[in-house]
Structure 1
């Protein structure tokens, strides 16, 4: 059995989960070894573009209740804050706004605080040094027990350089050298959505960061224009238990469908538990039965290729005429998520992402 801390980072674009769904996911995954939950949906404007403003009273109340429920279950609760491009001008006005925001977040009851510099312009001189200063400033003012940083360049994938500007030379090395060793750093791997993580890759990144990376695993997330027409349900592969000594923890970024996300999440726990004895199909079958029940799990397995291989845009009229009434006949939240997906309710456009 590999010893690794598992968690969930709700870091997708698109319609956020309901509060009831969040509690349900935490309650299901806690017995499988998931020990932290990070609230950071991209669609929460009070964590991103409007971060200077406090959360509405109702949202703050729900967050406090979720924090309390996590603690009851032995799960760490945290929030991911994206102070949008604050490193461009971290002067007195920005500092005052950030101090107020940290006080508001502390009131929620935080075990973890993540400062997310992802998906922002990064081709700026002194980027790493500016971010180090900001994070250390935050560390002196937050009551959270663990501080995590998502770098502007959180993967080797060159798509970030094309979209957000060429990464500064030695950015990771400078960030790692500057940050206090107690601060964790997120990493998504060789790609934004990595197909696998190897011990050698993670060891190299660990040397650059001067600490073990905390994996932000973009599976089974399905939140972009290209991914939202798919349901990622298969068991985890490409994450061998042998990577456990190379990472600080392993956080899963779930899909837009909370109930269905529990299926692959459970298989990841099985992969670490079973090591070389892990079989991803058998793990999927067991997790699907646990989450969906016998009959619905059997139906989902029968359509797994259509859900994850073909996707919504390649389903035929015949596929739709058979599948929709089949799943509409089940009184189960997982089946309702499938029906909504078939109806196009989870599609995400590029315009929606750019507006976030």
Structure 2
């Protein structure tokens, strides 16, 4: 139903409008198609059927049709437009032009047309405008690269559709705890699993999303073993047979110090990883005329040069792309200096594997804030791709991923707070205000230390009325979000919604103890409510009710050992990544 001028100026790179409007009769924009893009004029699958826009394809020479449109749509090929970019012209004469250099650009142009359209009962309205739009990064997408329970194939299918709708073009299949990806990398997938991967590949094709098959053999690969390389090639060959053309070899999170015959054969891990990657590259080159190969080095984070990076620079095939995650596994910022330095150290196109909003090191947390702290000009410093590593909770990941999509498309204009607002509004509709409040209680503690100022100020001033209002709103928000028309969100976020209500009840118990500090029944209720909060097995942001109780002098000794254990577990998980 159209979007505001402010949103247009933010979401589209260049938006030229003089304030005029095109109005055509009818409740649907029915476009008579002409094409100078390709002789076959094939637009099948570029947009969903039955929406506010219908494409009326020509019936053929000499064939008359009574199905008339109320607008004309011309598709044009323009090789000067960047891949996935497009130019959309909406004229006062109801002539529409979409120019692009590839099929995905045509799709994004049609998507833009749909966004700008306001369809009413008796007419359709469009701004008279020229839009020139192209991405900051050639590859934009999601890498399912977290530890823990992998996504279901239903989640993966939905993620592909989501990416297609948000101008992302790459799905990278790399679930750490899929045994056939990592531990049993030599073994073929069971037939039923492989069939689902094939279905996922078809879904990617349908939505113009590139499917990347990733494999992680580095833990126990014998670099001199012909049998091991044969198993690796067989795994790749199976994917080639179903049309996969994009691959990644992942050597992250392994003990990469060479031992035994591997050390005698190749001496250094950088040399070894360049060697195996080059072997894979050569194999793919024998099988395919066009393909993509990326590799994730073991030193996928850090900001200084090393012998390992030097070996990759000098020995890795120049066409191979190299992942990194920033100067740390979870990098609060990725600025020019670190990005440019690492590009020079590795000497290959860099692909940012951004560990946002992944929560596998914080399984009891949700991270629902926007991506922050990424250079607006990362594409100028050797980076041609950005892929996000989401949470185990796919549906909840959409809020951050909506902001990631904006950054990936136009990093130069990206504004975190505005993107957050747009993403939350898209996700929650009429409950956007409640959703935003809930999101603000679930900030990414790995990357961002604020902003809980309302709570902090109230505690600093011992303002009990403000604290009452805060916890009352927290409870009401959780109750309302529990009625959101999104069963998947309620299933995933349910424990955190319950914890929010539990925090509010704990606060009320704390209030009663503050009023009557010597009443043992009041103290017992605090402990009971605390145990209820703990029973959900999740944390909400900064544990607001616990923090409030402690700040106001209510001791919670039972929490001490649990907190220590949580810190130990978090440290173990972080060490595992490092």
Q: Common fold, TM-score beyond 0.5?
A: yes
1:148-207 CA-to-partner distances (Å, cap 9, x unmatched) read: 10001111179xxxxxxxx9x510111121111111110011000111111221111111
Structure 2 Cα separation of the partners of residues 25 and 196 of structure 1: 26
Q: 2:364 aligns with which of 212, 229, 232?
A: 229
Which secondary structure state, in structure 1, belongs to the residue aligned with residue 180 of structure 2?
helix
Query: Taking structure 1 as reference, are residues 113 and 121 closer, same or farther at Cα in structure 2, changes over 3 Å only?
Result: same
Structure 2 Cα separation of the partners of residues 321 and 200 of structure 1: 44
Which secondary structure state, in structure 1, belongs to the residue aligned with residue 189 of structure 2?
coil
Q: Which runs of 5+ in 1 are unaligned?
A: 159-166, 312-317
Which secondary structure state, in structure 1, belongs to the residue aligned with residue 323 of structure 2?
strand
Structure 2 Cα separation of the partners of residues 22 and 272 of structure 1: 20
Structure 1 Cα separation of the partners of residues 444 and 205 of structure 2: 38
Structure 1 Cα separation of the partners of residues 410 and 252 of structure 2: 33
Aligned position for 2:319: 182
CA contact (8 A) 2:167 2:409 kept: no
2:417 pairs with 1:281 = yes
Aligned position for 1:299: 434
Give 1:7-26 correspondences, 5 Å limit. Answer: 7-26=141-160
2:278 pairs with 1:139 = no
Q: Which structure is larger by alpha-carbon Rg, 1 or 2?
A: 2
Q: 1:173 aligns with which of 291, 310, 317?
A: 310
Aligned position for 1:271: 407
Q: Which runs of 5+ in 2 are unaligned?
A: 1-12, 14-134, 259-266, 447-470, 500-535, 540-565
Structure 1 Cα separation of the partners of residues 221 and 185 of structure 2: 14
Query: Taking structure 1 as reference, are residues 222 and 157 closer, same or farther at Cα in structure 2, changes over 3 Å only?
Result: farther
Aligned position for 2:397: 261
Structure 2 Cα separation of the partners of residues 188 and 277 of structure 1: 22
Coordinate RMSD, CA, aligned:
3.0
Give aligned pairs, total. Answer: 338
Which structure has more RCO (C-alpha within 8 Å, separation ≥ 6)? 1
* The structure with more helix, counted as a fraction of residues: 1
Query: Taking structure 1 as reference, are residues 274 and 129 closer, same or farther at Cα in structure 2, changes over 3 Å only?
Result: closer
Structure 2 Cα separation of the partners of residues 294 and 107 of structure 1: 46
Aligned position for 2:335: 198
Structure 2 Cα separation of the partners of residues 112 and 256 of structure 1: 24
Give 1:154-169 correspondences, 5 Å limit. Answer: 154-156=300-302, 169=306
1:200-229 CA-to-partner distances (Å, cap 9, x unmatched) read: 2111111111123110000111112xx222
CA contact (8 A) 1:39 1:80 kept: yes
1:56-76 CA-to-partner distances (Å, cap 9, x unmatched) read: 111111111111111111111
Aligned position for 1:209: 346
Aligned position for 2:181: 47
CA contact (8 A) 1:155 1:188 kept: yes
Aligned position for 1:252: 388
Aligned position for 1:34: 168
Bigger shift: residues 336-345 or 213-222: 336-345
1:285-317 CA-to-partner distances (Å, cap 9, x unmatched) read: 21122123221x322211223222689xxxxxx
Aligned position for 1:92: 226
Q: 2:296 aligns with which of 132, 150, 156?
A: 150
Output the TM-score relative to the length of structure 2: 0.54
* The structure with more strand, counted as a fraction of residues: 2
Aligned position for 1:334: 489
Which secondary structure state, in structure 2, belongs to the residue aligned with residue 303 of structure 1?
helix
Structure 2 Cα separation of the partners of residues 90 and 255 of structure 1: 37
Which secondary structure state, in structure 2, belongs to the residue aligned with residue 34 of structure 1?
coil
Structure 2 Cα separation of the partners of residues 148 and 213 of structure 1: 9
